[in-house]
Each structure stands twice: as structure tokens, then as C-alpha cells.
Amino acid sequence: MSQAIADKQNTDTKKQNIVSKASNKVNDFMKVDRKDANVAMAHIYVAMIALLLGGIAGLLQVLVRSGEFKLPWGIGYYQVLTVHGVLLGLILTTFFIYGFQIAAVSRTSGTLTAKQRLICWIGFWTMTAGTAMSSVMVLLNEASVLYTFYAPLQAHWIFYLGLTLVVVGSWIGALGQALRWMQWRKENKGQTSPLLSFMVVCNNLMWFVATIGVASEVLFQLLPWSLGLVDRIDILLSRTLFWSFGHALVYFWLLPAYMIWYIVIPKIIGGKIFSDALSRLSFILFVIFSIPVGLHHQLTEPGVDGSWKFLQVILTMMVVIPSLLTAFSLFATFELRGRALGAKGLFGWLRQLPWGDARFFVPFLGMLVFIPGGAGGIVNASYQMNQLIHNTIWVTGHFHLTVATTVVLTFFGAAYWLVPHLTGRTFTKELNKLGIIQSIVWVIGMTIMSSSMHVAGLLGAPRRSTFSDYGGAEIASTWASYQIAQAVGGTLLFIGILLFLYIFVQLCWFAPKGQEEFPIGEVAPNAEKTPAILENFKLWIVVLVALLLIAYSYPIFDIIQNAPLGSKGYKLW
Amino acid sequence: MHLHKYEKYWLVFGVGSLIVFLLITGIMAFHNGSHPPSAKNTINHEKVDEIAPFNNPGVHKVEGKDWDYEAVVVASAFYYDPPVLEVPVGAKVKFIATSKDVVHGFGVAGTNINMMLEPGYVSEYVTTVNKVGEYLIVCNEYCGAGHAQMHSMLKVVDPK
Amino acid sequence: MANKNQTDGDLKGTFYLVMALGVFIVVVWGLCFGLFLDRF
Ligand code: HEM
Ligand SMILES: [Cu+2]
Ligand SMILES: [Cu+2]
């Protein structure tokens, strides 16, 4: 593999020379600087610990829910579920994303300055300290409130403070990455900025705006209340603030996967990026439409007018559009490449794709799984149809397709070049084969687990519920049979996690030393110039804020205006 | 920005489908009144037992309203009052429920009745129960250690 | 930007695949909608 990579790097270097005359350190560009690699890897190590522990929790959940297994030592099911949700939904994702994004900025905008790198390290340690604080409180059974921490269930204040630090740390890290991109723009006035860095900045901007809601919830509501400074809390306001962040959270997970699909995959298959401008357009659409849609998670809640819910349902459908664009761009990239290799017929180009290359194959499976995932998501968001599935195990089935497969498999596929690139090792043939096996195990396990979750959910089975026979109700025994299937699928998934971690350990410490490419696709040479308006963040921030005000100011005003007596805290676990 | 011809077709189809979804759900909502539960009445959740209609949970026949029966439910950790709701098939029933403590769910398996119960808010949903059967009601929002033991039953019976 | 030299015919396979995807979404939605109408 290394010879091919060396060749590719040569052509890459030439391109870089043309693209960026401002930088003389062309070679540093190609390879992420050692010191930057260290920050990136630090994030990835934490992510992998979260994957292992969260995976163990997931295995325990499916076993308990099968009805055949009881947790020992007084461990509670919901304690385990809190571990699973926090570690996999929040920590694995955020840390892996930051590891990837730091490397991506360093690779495409250039090595970080000492100051930028320091900012990234401060962000890392803040997030890690916060993670440790929250985890300890969960382990002490002081915070079995699940990763959505809905009031008036009240966790220990240290749990909330820990989560605050994770968010604040993520702001710091986001700043470190953005500063490097801004520096590039200053040094290369009038030029279109590197696509991957641009996308990183989009994701961070969206994340920053979205987390303002949840940060306000924690700082102004949950922390004072759990510290005993105030007695009561406005429940609906806290939920609405939480969900103003919650949907953007899922796009924060998804956009790095899109970055890999748009930019890395074309390079791996030897093709070109389908369209620079369309890629940027779809990211801008995500920035604008991912946040003012949170009410679609509150469709069955009292206290919010139906018309306002419907308005946000309309905005939710808008955020589907960039995914439609993405689907076309990806297939087009594949088809153009296959045809360039001489493929004939309608679908002959499919045969030309490098199916044996885990760096392509594993994310490709992720893309496929996004088709049922996305279809389910549209159903969830369809206003009154939400009653079919709200809070049923269907929802769990849905996001194990979108996050736990589409995003996770894309990250796994990316780890196969990112980790060795950063550790100075190589992704060997044997590991490549294992990676492919790993992804197949994952998809089989997930198909079993997720489809039985979808079906049981349509039959009314609730999510976030330990095993129960519901007083011997007939329907509950039907649900239980699907839970056996979930245990089978979940066990396969756990094996998948172990396989991946084995590969990861190899890539960190044991695989042969060498150079692994950080693949960055190029735009077709005769492409049109990207309209400068797409890089005008000031404009997009104005549009975003306007939409946020339209979607949220009246509902929030109304919630505060008509607030009932607030709630005291409860610890019911 | 140049769009490929097929990409245009695709976007027309895709965006068109989304618009159709929105039109169907929108007409169902604003013409047929099929909204998800969105009642806006508030209540003092610490005095629920003293406030009508929650001072008398259960199924009541009503006159002169748009619906025939009111099914009044009080949720608290970890049970529903009353434990069984019995209504005649074909009746138009308004479900009225609230929580005395934390957030609970009210999901009736096999039906579209699915609402969040939040302290301080009254949740309502009106529907015509048109199929005989026993429908398990479960709490589908995590509420604490006894969450999965929190359930009741909706019996739709044929009075003949 | 799409390559200006390429003829539109190049992407026929892509077109069929995304349309199949679109039809899949519509069908799933329709089935769920039917279930919603069927239930009370
Ligand atoms: C071994 C692999 C996995 C298994 C067996 C598994 C199993 C489960 C099960 C059974 C639940 C639902 C439990 C309930 O509602 O009572 C659940 C919830 C969840 N899972 Fe997983 N999962 C796995 C991997 C993942 C991964 C990789 C992610 C994320 C990247 C993830 C994210 C979540 C989240 C966010 C929840 C929601 C927690 C909540 O409702 O509070 N899972 N998982
Ligand atoms: Cu959402
Ligand atoms: Cu509950």
C-alpha cells in the first residue's frame, strides 16, 4: 500500500504548490504535524475508552432486557443506561469528532500555531475533566438521569457541572480549530478556503450556537436548582432549551461523517470531489436549519401550541434537502470514477469501486444504512405521525442506524487511515481484512437489533425501560420476544466493538511503522469557481439568528408567560 | 451554480415529496383537527388531587360536549390512577391526564394515543375508540427506578 | 462544480439509484401513514 500512497502524495504535493503559494511548508501540509497529531490522538484515546465502557453497558442492557439476566451488585439498569447514553452519545462522538477535526484543519489549512494548539489542549483537558466529574457521579449512583437529564429528576450538581465543562471545553477546542482557518483566510485573501477546513468551521459554528440553549439550561436552571440556591425549576422551559440543542447535536455527529464522504472517499476511490460549491452549499444549509427545529422532539408535549410545532416541522423538512444533495453527489462521484475506469452500462461502474479497501467499504456501509435511517427520521418528524413512535423503542432503533451505524462506521473507516497517519504506522493488509469483517459483523448485528426495535416500537414497546412483563399483558410477551432478538444483535455489536478496538490498538502501538496517507480529494480541474457568498459567514449567521428568532421567540415567551408553579427536585432511582 | 440535469430532476422529486408530506400532515392538522397532544392548560401539580377533574379520576360520561366520555388519569411515580379505563366501542373519548411529580409518559400500545405528562400541565387527546380490545398503557418516559412497572389498561368493550 | 465537459448522460446510473432511494422513502412514509390512519 505504501508505494501507491507515496505516489499519491507526490501528485498531492504538486497540487498544493499550485493551490497555496503562500505556504512554503508544503510538506508539513501533507502530513499532520507531530505536535498536532498528539492533540488529535489524545481526543481519540478518550473516545476509545468511552467506546469500550459504553459498549459494555450496551451489552448489559440488551442482556437485561432479554429477561434472562440480572445485574449484580445492586447496579441499576438506568445507571447503566446513563453510562451508555453519556459515553457513546456525548463523549465518544465529541472526542472523536474533535480528534478528526483538529487533524483535518492541520492537514488542510496548515500546522497549528503554538497558541492555537495550546487552545486545543485547554479544550481537551476541560472536556476530559468534565467527563471524569460526570462519570464519577453516575458511578456513585448520584446521577441516574440518562443523558438527557430531564428535570425534575435531579442529579448531583457535580454531574451538571461536569457536563458544563464538556460544553465549555468544546467551545475552546472549536475556537482553536477556527483560528487556524481564519489565519489561512488572512494569508490567502480572495481565495476559496480549503473545503475540509471550511466544513469544520461550519460544524463548530453550528455546535456553538446550538449549545447556547443547553448551556443556559444548565447554568441558569439546573445548577442553581441542584445546588439548592433556588427551590423550583420551570420544566417545560428546561426541556425546550435542551431540545433547541438536541437536534443540532445529531447533525454535529453527522457532519464529520459527511466531511469524510464528500472529501476523503473521492480520493480513496481515485475520483474527484463532485462539486466544491454544492458541498459548501449543503453545509451552509445544515448550519442554518439544524437548530430551529428542536420542537420536533416535543411534538406530543403539552404547553406548546400546535401551530408552532408545525412551523418547526416545516423547517425540519428543509434540513432534509442538503442530505438529498449529498446522496446525489456521492453516487455521482462513484459513477464518474467508475466510468473513467471504463465501466459500461447503467450500473457497471459499481463494479469498479474498491470494495476490498476498508477505508472505502466501511463508510460505504454507513451510507447504505443511512437510507432506512433517513426514511425513519422523516416519519418521526411528520407531526401527528410522531404519536406512532414517540418514546417507543422504534426511536432507539432509528438512532442506532443513524448514529451508531452510519456515523460510527464512517468514523471506524476513517480511523483506519487517520490513526496510523497520526501514529506513524501503516494499515496492513491483514488489518484491512479484519476491518471489513468488523463492519459486516456490525451491520448484521445492527440489522437484527435495530429492525426488531423498529417493529416492537410500532407495537408500542417503550424505550428506556428495563425488562418488565407489564402485569402479564399479552402484548408485553410479544415485545419480550423481540427483546431476545435485540440481545442476539447486541451481542454481535459488542463483538464488533472488540474487533475494532483490537485494530485500533494495533494501529497505535504494533502495526509496522510507515506512512499512511491522510486522503484529501480534489475538485475537478476545470470546475467553476465557488461563489464567494458561500464563505460569507456573517451573512449566514444573520440568517440563522433570524430563523431562530422566528422559530423560538414566541414559544419561549409563551412558556415563560404561562408558566405553572415550578418543580422541586426528585431522586427516584 | 451549475446543477446537473439529473440532479435537478432528483431535487424536484425529493423536495416535491417533502412538500407532499407537509401538505398531507398539514391538511390533517389544520383541516381535520388531527394535532398531536398540545393542550395548554396549566395546573398546580402539588394540588392535583383537589382540582377538578383530577379530584375524581376515571371514565365519566359527559353531555353537551364534542365528545361522549372523559377519561381522567392522574400519573405519579410509579402508577396511574385509575388502574383500568373502560370505554364502550365507538365512543368519542377525551383523555385528560397530568402528573403529580416528575415527567411521565402515557402511551397506549397499538393506538395513536401517546402523550407526555408534565408536572404543571394538563395533557389532552380526543379520539374515537373504534376497535374492541384491551390496550396496554405504559409509561414511556423514564421517571425513576419503577418506570417499567408503571402501566394500566384501556379496555374498549362492546356494551351489547 | 460539476465538470463542464461532462455530458448529462454520464450520470444515468446515479439518477436511477437516487430515484430508487426516493421511492423507498415515499413507500416507508406511506406505510406508516396508513398505520396511523388505521389506529385510533
Ligand atoms: C454494543 C453495541 C450497542 C448495543 C448492544 C446497544 C444497545 C442499546 C440499547 C438496548 C439501548 C436502549 C435501552 C433502552 O431504551 O432501555 C441503547 C440506547 C442508546 N444507545 Fe446503544 N447500543 C450499542 C452501541 C451504541 C453506540 C455505538 C452508540 C452511539 C454512538 C449508542 C448510542 C445510544 C444512545 C444515545 C442511547 C439512548 C440512551 C437513552 O435512551 O438514554 N449505542 N443502546
Ligand atoms: Cu431531531
Ligand atoms: Cu416512567
A250 CA → ligand 2 middle, Å:
7
- What are the φ/ψ torsions at residue A144 (nearest 5 degrees)? -80, 65
> Does the domain formed by B45-157 have CATH 1.10.10.10?
no
> How many CA atoms lie within 13 Å of A298's alpha carbon, on the beta-carbon side?
34
Task: Decide if pLDDT at B89 tops 80.
Answer: yes
The model's pTM: 0.91
Identify the top-confidence range among A288-292, A311-315, B135-139.
Answer: B135-139
Spacing of C-alpha A27 from chain mean position: 31
The reply to whether omega before B78 is within 30° of 0 (cis) is yes
- Mean pLDDT, residues B131-159: 93
Is A390 labeled as catalytic in the residue annotation?
Answer: no
To test the contact with chain C by mutation, choose from A326, A328, A351, A392 the residue with the greatest count of C C-beta atoms within 10 A, namely A328
Q: What's the pLDDT at C6?
A: 47
Domain range list for chain B = 1-35, 45-157
Looking at residue A388, its amino acid is L
Cβ–ligand 1 contact at A154 (below 6 Å): no
- Mean pLDDT, residues A347-368: 92
User: Which protein residues have a CB closer than 5 Å to ligand 2 (ion)?
Assistant: A 247
Q: What's the pLDDT at A344?
A: 82
Is A156 labeled as catalytic in the residue annotation?
Answer: no
Q: Interface partners of A (3+ CB pairs, < 8 Å)?
A: B, C
- Mean pLDDT, residues A517-538: 82
Using 50, 70 and 90 to split pLDDT, how confident is the model at A526? Answer: low
Using 50, 70 and 90 to split pLDDT, how confident is the model at B29? Answer: confident
Using 50, 70 and 90 to split pLDDT, how confident is the model at A534? Answer: confident
Identify the top-confidence range among A8-17, A351-360, C3-12.
Answer: A351-360
Using 50, 70 and 90 to split pLDDT, how confident is the model at C3? Answer: very low
pLDDT in tens, B59-84: 999 999 999 999 999 999 999 989 99
- What are the φ/ψ torsions at residue B31 (nearest 5 degrees)? -105, -45
Residue ranges of domains in chain A, CATH in brackets? 185-465+474-561 (1.20.210.10)
pLDDT in tens, A133-185: 999 999 999 889 999 999 899 999 999 999 999 999 999 999 999 999 999 99
Q: How far is CA B102 from CA A226, A491, A571, B120, in A?
A: 15, 34, 10, 10
Residues 6+ apart with CB under 8 A from A68: A487
To test the contact with chain B by mutation, choose from C1, C6, C8, C40 the residue with the greatest count of B C-beta atoms within 10 A, namely C40
Q: How far is C8 from chain B (nearest CA, A)?
A: 6
Contact predicate B66/B43, CB 8 Å: no
ipTM tops 0.90? yes
Unique residue bearing C-alpha cell 451510507: A367
Secondary structure, 3-state, A375-407: HHHHHHHCHHHHHHHCCEHHHHHHHHHHHHHHH
pLDDT in tens, A262-306: 999 999 998 888 888 888 989 999 999 888 898 999 999 998 988
Task: Decide if pLDDT at A18 tops 50.
Answer: no
What is the sign, positive or negative, of the torsion defined by CA atoms of C29, C33, C34, C36?
positive
Q: Decide: residue B52, CB within 10 A, 0-12 exposed, 13-18 middle, 19+ buried.
A: exposed
> Three-class SS of residue B153?
strand
Using 50, 70 and 90 to split pLDDT, how confident is the model at A13? Answer: very low
- Mean pLDDT, residues B27-48: 88
Residue of C nearest to B112 (CA): C40
Helix, strand, coil percentages (3-state) for chain B, rounded to 5, are 20, 35, 40
Whole-angstrom Cα distance, residue A105 to residue A21?
18
Task: Decide if pLDDT at B88 tops 60.
Answer: yes
